[in-house]
Amino acid sequence: MKKIMLTPILICLPLLYCCDRHLDQYPHNGISSELICEEDAQLLLTGAYNIAQYKPTFNGWALFDLIGGDIIRTGASGMNTPELLVTMGITPNQSIVASPWNGFYAGLYQINVFIEKIGQLPQSQKKDEMLAAGHFFRGLYYYNITARWRNIPIVTSTIDTDVPQTPEEEAWIFVAEEFKEAIRLGSDFQDKNHVSHQAAKALLARTYLAMGMMKEAAQVAEEVIADGNFTLSDFNSIFRGGYNREEIFSFANLVQESSVNMSSYYYTKQSPVGGAYNFCPTQEAMDMYGPDDSRKSVSVDYQGSNPVLNKYCSGDAGHDPLYIVRLAEMYLISAEGQGYPEGLGRLNELRVHRGLSPAAPASEEEFLDAVLDERRLELFGEGFRWFDLVRTGRYEKTVSVDSRYTVLPIPARELTLNKRLKQHPLWDAASDNKN
């Protein structure tokens, strides 16, 4: 891990995985003086936004969809079922596991540099807003790391030492505290591409859901829903560049500042804008949208006879935004957090807005099924499915895999670099069974 954090790493990923050929545009960590000026701080802030977009790589943003059971590898790859994609792709030596780990921790090093340097500035509202962005991004990184690997090293400084793992429960607490700090320091919502205290609050609601703190998750989600800056919007406007008041935070992900091109992996060469067409929805995923669902054509489509995930529409021609948090998710978090029957109102508000009739579950179990089905429809392709199934205990049965795949293995190289790391017990047991 030490080598990963000290230098930016560009990792070329064959076939199944993306290639990060990004050349740094901004001096993210190039300011070496003890004291920094306001101009330096602005450059660091620009760099913080930049690295937070591209460091996770395509694998980092798309992984929960790729192994969530609704996406398969195209062509005669041998990974053309969800089960095969998972069992062949998720191993300690595969790039789909290693590249996000590398990206998250390389990015975290630079975010830690940012927080340390901004902390040197005289007290001001601008300083608080910059620190809010740093804690927001650090919380977002560690949310993704904890959800994937559970017991993880938490690094909050730029000191180059081996760091032991923090237990999962403590890691989630750390994530929540990062978002709370971003809420405390953050400014009011300006636009969807800037960190705000509302965006941090939305991710805190998501974190509480992951922690099983259902009452708290619902309460915080309701605070975001009540915020006058946001309202449910037309689905097409969200994903086709129109004006909307539903996006709480999204990365602009411009071509000149990021190498993450989601659409290229999902669009075909036959599309007007081209595409590599590495992955596609399963037939079940294509069929899950009813004819009255306003999300259908934006979420999935056919290009010729090829099924495509349609939320990212630039193909090879450009980059689409990375949608980090939307108001619809807050409706679903509130519904799940409140439980049955109290949460049914929020669930059905969203369904009716999307053109569907209200759901009528008759029990708590049916209600949770309905919420998860709605999350699948609403958030398809936005990086939720795997963890939704894992945190609710449904993953093994849904994708027909064993329990080791409910957590990612620590990359083999990291275990060599940092002797204080230990492989997750589920993967240790899997190794023992092979020997």
- The tens-digit pLDDT sequence of the chain (435 residues) is 333 332 332 222 223 333 333 323 333 444 444 678 878 899 999 999 999 999 999 999 999 999 999 999 998 667 789 999 999 999 999 999 999 999 999 999 999 999 999 999 999 999 999 999 999 999 999 999 999 999 999 999 888 788 899 999 999 999 999 999 999 999 999 999 999 999 999 999 999 999 999 999 999 999 999 999 999 999 999 999 999 999 999 999 999 889 999 999 999 999 999 999 999 999 999 999 999 999 999 999 999 999 999 999 999 989 999 999 999 999 999 999 999 999 999 999 999 999 999 999 999 999 999 999 999 999 999 999 999 999 999 999 999 999 999 999 999 999 999 999 999 999 986 654 443
| Both structure tokens of 165 | 């793992």
Query: Domain range spanning residue 339?
Result: 2-252+323-404
Per the CB < 8 A criterion, the answer to whether 63 and 149 are in contact is no
CATH number of the structural domain spanning residue 387:
1.25.40.390
| 426 assigned to some structural domain | no
| 279 assigned to some structural domain | no
As for how many domains the chain has, the answer is 1
| 428 assigned to some structural domain | no
| 179 assigned to some structural domain | yes
Neighbours of 194 (CB within 10 A): 15
Q: Is the dihedral of CA 225, 229, 234, 239 positive or negative?
A: negative
φ, ψ (nearest 5 deg) of residue 69 = 100, -5
- Write the CB contacts of 434 (distance below 8 Å, at least 6 apart in sequence): none
| 170 assigned to some structural domain | yes
SS3 at position 166:
strand
Alpha carbons 229 and 60: distance in angstroms, whole number: 29
| 266 assigned to some structural domain | no
Alpha carbons 292 and 390: distance in angstroms, whole number: 30
| 430 assigned to some structural domain | no
Neighbours of 321 (CB within 10 A): 21
| 414 assigned to some structural domain | no
